[in-house]
Structure 1
Amino acid sequence: MTVLIDTLKQAPSEGVQRAAELSARYETMTAQEILRDAIRNEFFGDITLSSSFGADSAVLLHMISEIDPGLLVLFLDTDRHFFQTLQYRDELAKRLGLTNLVNLKADAEEAAAEDGKNTLWRTQPDQCCDLRKVRPLNREMEKWGAWISGRKRHQSATRAKLPIVEFDGRHYKVNPLATWNADDIAAYFLAHDLPPHPLVEQGFPSIGCFTCTKPVEQGADARSGRWAGMEKVECGIHNPIYGGDGI
């Protein structure tokens, strides 16, 4: 992939500058326009989408289905997802006509060595996420120069200043829904008759593994049910790993 090779040759400062310039241009564009430009122009042939198939995921997936239904969609299968999430993943992919869904899992030997008792989520949650999410995604992302994320500024204090495009020292990350809020999401679901994740009505506005996700109290931070009672607030896949200062 020519674009990926060019990205790898890019100095970190150049990557950060390009991300900042794209962010500034994308601030005045709709999410659909951002996605279309990123997929068809800026990162043509070198971009993928990671999706949790969670509460808000249908929005981005629907947009992708209208732009490029064959775009690679990555799902991090931790073997600890709610069964409702797995059903929703399969039903939504079929309904939207997404033809390139790939499930990523932890390396079996690493999982056996590091979590043979299946208690890592409780004793070392950061390591559990690293094993089951970060490493599998990083291995796949060795093939790509950019990826699309569904993160939004309204979701939590740690995401309040989220740029639309980031650079982590090697990859560009595009956040086309960064400026959206809960009302925008609800309106899009309604306008396009998208099915909700079945756990949303049970008080889960943000959905991860069943071991580490609880319902959220009314009016609380949408992500307060993730790793509830722990200091942990992110799984780690969005942390900079290549020394870039764009995140």
Structure 2
Amino acid sequence: MVGVALEKSEINLEAAQQQLESVDAREVVEWAAKTFGDGLVMSTSFGIQSAVMLHLVTSVVPDIPAIWVDTGYLPPETYRFAEELIERLQLNVKVYQSPMSPARMEALYGKLWEQNDVEAFNRYDQIRKVEPMQRAIAELNATAWLAGLRRDQTKHRQSLHVVERPLDVYKVHPILTWNAKTIYEYLTAHDLPYHPFFDLGYVTVGDWHSSRPLMATDENGRDTRFQGLKQECGLHLPQTWGEAESLDSSLL
């Protein structure tokens, strides 16, 4: 990655949004690399389609820090899939975890995912996901964050722009307008793998206790997460870092 990150005040957000809405994903990444320089990071969950963003971004910025928030509750297949992609794409992965171990959390709060309650899930997400991501952004001196969100995933994501500034860092979404067909075509064109759970019927996967295969009765792929109680884990919501409120009753 080259260059020094620009001051936030130097970016005309409205103009950038208009400029980037109609360009392709690679151009968005190139713009972000040029604009934010060493302040640019990306996030990855090593989920079902994570190979797309990892390949796309590192083909432009090979050494970009890839933040992986490891909750400690991922399926074994996710850890093995992560190692496969790290080796194949030579990723500069930065692993962040909660300072509270899973055992300590369960001793203090119980198995939060079994409480069938949105507030319990929000507490879980704050401890295991939001706080580590907040710390990663601060420690890496990030000014912009590339994320693989798509408008067709949740109601909240339908309202997103390619570039935004919801908090103290900019968020850039190169594949925001993509759909399942576009994802498949990119994976095929570059001979990239899906997460192994794809073959088991999963369209999204996170922690082992809060993910399941898609069923015929599901209205949205994100209904397979968090026991259908919410769609977002808190990492990509526009409120304060500490909030993990779901936006309706229904990932990455």
Query: Shorter chain as normaliser: what TM range?
Result: 0.7 to 0.9
Q: Which amino acid aligns with 1:195?
A: P
> 2:20 maps to what in 1?
26
Match of 2:29 in 1: 35
**Distance (whole Å) between structure 2 residues aligned to residue 114 and residue 80 of structure 1:** 12
Aligned match of 2:221: 222
Render the CA deviation track for 1:70-128: whole Å, top value 9, x for unaligned: 11001110011111111111101111122x1011100137x666432651233311100
CA 57–33 in structure 1, closer or farther in 2 if over 3 Å, else same: same
CA deviations over 1:142-190 (Å, ceiling 9, x no partner): 2211101100001122211221111023110000000001100000011
Contact 2:4 2:37 in 1 (8 A): no
What pairs with 1:36-115 in structure 2 (closer than 5 Å)?
36-39=30-33, 41-98=34-91, 100-108=92-100, 114-115=105-106
Distance in 2 between the 1:114 and 1:193 partners? Answer: 40
The aligned runs of 1:1-247 (5 Å cut-off) are: 3=5, 6-7=7-8, 10=9, 18-39=12-33, 41-98=34-91, 100-108=92-100, 114-116=105-107, 119-123=111-115, 124-142=120-138, 143-218=141-216, 220-230=219-229, 232-242=230-240
The 4+ residue runs of structure 1 with deviation greater than 3 A are: 1-4, 111-115
Task: Tell me if the contact between 1:19 and 1:172 (Cα under 8 Å) persists in the aligned partners.
Answer: no
Partner of 1:116, secondary structure, is helix
TM-score, scaled to structure 2: 0.85
* RMSD over equivalenced CA pairs, Å: 2.2
Give the secondary-structure state (helix, strand or coil) at the position aligned to 2:134.
helix
Rounded to whole Å, the distance in 1 between the matches of 2:68 and 2:104 is 23
Opposite residue 65 of structure 2, the aligned amino acid is L
Inter-partner Cα distance in structure 1 for 2:177 and 2:159 = 10
Distance 2:78 2:13 in 1: 32
Distance in 1 (CA, whole Å) between partners of 2:155 and 2:238 is: 18
* Aligned partners of 1:203 and 1:215 also within 8 Å: yes
Cα separation, partners in 2 of 1:203 and 1:71, compared to 1, 3 Å: same
List per-residue Cα deviations over 1:4-23 (Å, max 9, x = no partner): 7x33xx4xxx87xx333212
Q: C-alpha separation between the residues in 1 aligned to 2:160 and 2:72? A: 29
What's the offset of the Cα at 1:240?
Answer: 2.6
Cα deviation, residue 29, structure 1 = 0.9
Matched residue SS, 1:178: coil
Q: Go from structure 1 to structure 2 and tell me whether the alpha carbon gap of 1:121 and 1:20 turns closer, same or farther (over 3 Å shift).
A: farther
Amino acid in the other structure paired with 2:38: G
Q: How has the CA–CA distance of structure 1 residues 169 and 156 changed in structure 2, closer, same or farther, with 3 Å as cutoff?
A: closer
Question: What is the distance in 2 between the residues matched to 1:229 and 1:201?
Answer: 21
Q: Using CA pairs below 8 Å that are at least 6 residues apart, which structure has the higher relative contact order?
A: 1
Number of residue pairs the alignment of both structures matches: 231
Percent identity for Structure 1 against Structure 2: 31
Q: Which amino acid aligns with 1:130?
A: Q
TM-score, structure 1 normalization: 0.86
Q: Provide the rounded CA distance (Å) in 1 between the counterparts of 2:131 and 2:180.
A: 30
Note the residue ranges of structure 1 that are not aligned, 5 or more in a row.
Answer: none
